[in-house]
Amino acid sequence: MKRIVFTATLGLLASSLFAGPIMEEYYKLEKEIADSRKTDESQKKQLETTLLKSLQRSLARYYKYKDAEKLTASDFQYEASETDPNTFFVKFKDFTGYFSYHNDPRLYTSFPWDEKLIVKPGTEFEKEELPIDNKKKEDEKTSETK
- pLDDT given for residue 53 in this prediction: 94
Mean pLDDT of all residues belonging to the chain? 80
- pLDDT given for residue 82 in this prediction: 93
- pLDDT given for residue 40 in this prediction: 87
* Adjacency order of strands within the sheet including 87-92: 77-80, 87-92, 95-100, 114-119
Per residue in 65-105, pLDDT (tens digit) is: 888 888 888 999 999 999 999 999 999 988 999 999 999 89
Contact yes or no for 49/73 (Cβ under 8 A): yes
Q: What are the boundaries of each domain within the chain?
A: 2-36, 40-132
- pLDDT given for residue 134 in this prediction: 47
Determine the Cα–Cα distance for residues 69 and 12; give it in Å rounded to an integer: 53
- pLDDT given for residue 11 in this prediction: 57
- pLDDT given for residue 127 in this prediction: 55
- pLDDT given for residue 102 in this prediction: 94
In the chain, which residues have pLDDT < 50?
130-135
- Burial of residue 71 (CB within 10 Å: 0-12, 13-18, 19+) is middle
